[in-house]
Amino acid sequence: MIGEPTIFGRIIDGEIPCHRVYEDAHVLAFLDVGPISPGHVLVIPKERVAFLHELSDDAAAALGRVLPRIARAVMSVTGCSDYNILQNNGASAHQAVFHVHFHIIPKHADGSGLGIEWNANELVDGESLAASISEAL
């Protein structure tokens, strides 16, 4: 790890308390301290990297393995049938804590939950763009 631990690193280390809902060797999940809606949970890797694209394959796999299970538990307890998974990377993309995290945000009947502004445009040069991204993998 380079630099000061983030607030989530300190939660992993037990220096800062959290309302833990799940933990294994690679993953920790806990309630968001400022929930957008009741049942808002954060799921984080114990690997200390800021952005999704920095995650090791093992840490990514560990997250992917438990996310649906935690989502099912949130649905069962809150009664929501709809929810968003949000994962922000970079300050301009609304990331405030620079340790990878997935939000599970229930959408409740009262309208509480994530609000999304979705400015769809027309796809331009799809074929060459897809080929370029594919080649970059």
When binding is defined by CB under 6 A, the residue of 12, 18, 27, 63 that contacts ligand DGP is 18
Q: Is 101 a catalytic residue?
A: yes
When binding is defined by CB under 6 A, the residue of 15, 16, 58, 132 that contacts ligand DGP is 16
Closest CA to 28 of 42, 39, 14: 42
Neighbouring-strand partners of residue 105? 84
Strand extents, DSSP E, the chain: 20-23, 27-31, 41-45, 82-86, 102-107
The arrangement of strands across the sheet holding 82-86 comes to 20-23, 27-31, 41-45, 102-107, 82-86
Question: Interface residues for ligand DGP in 19-78 (CB under 6 A)?
Answer: 30-34, 42
Query: C-beta of 127: minimal distance to ligand DGP in Å?
Result: 33
Question: Residue 118 CB: number of other CB atoms within 10 A?
Answer: 4
> Looking at beta carbons only, is 8 or 62 nearer to ligand DGP?
8
Query: C-beta of 11: minimal distance to ligand DGP in Å?
Result: 6
Regarding 88 and contact with ligand DGP (CB under 6 A), the answer is: yes
Question: Residue 127 CB: number of other CB atoms within 10 A?
Answer: 8
Q: Which of 19, 101, 103, 108 is catalytic?
A: 101
Binding residues for ligand DGP, rule: CB under 6 A, are 7, 16, 18, 30-34, 42, 88, 94-97
Catalytic residue positions, numbered: 101
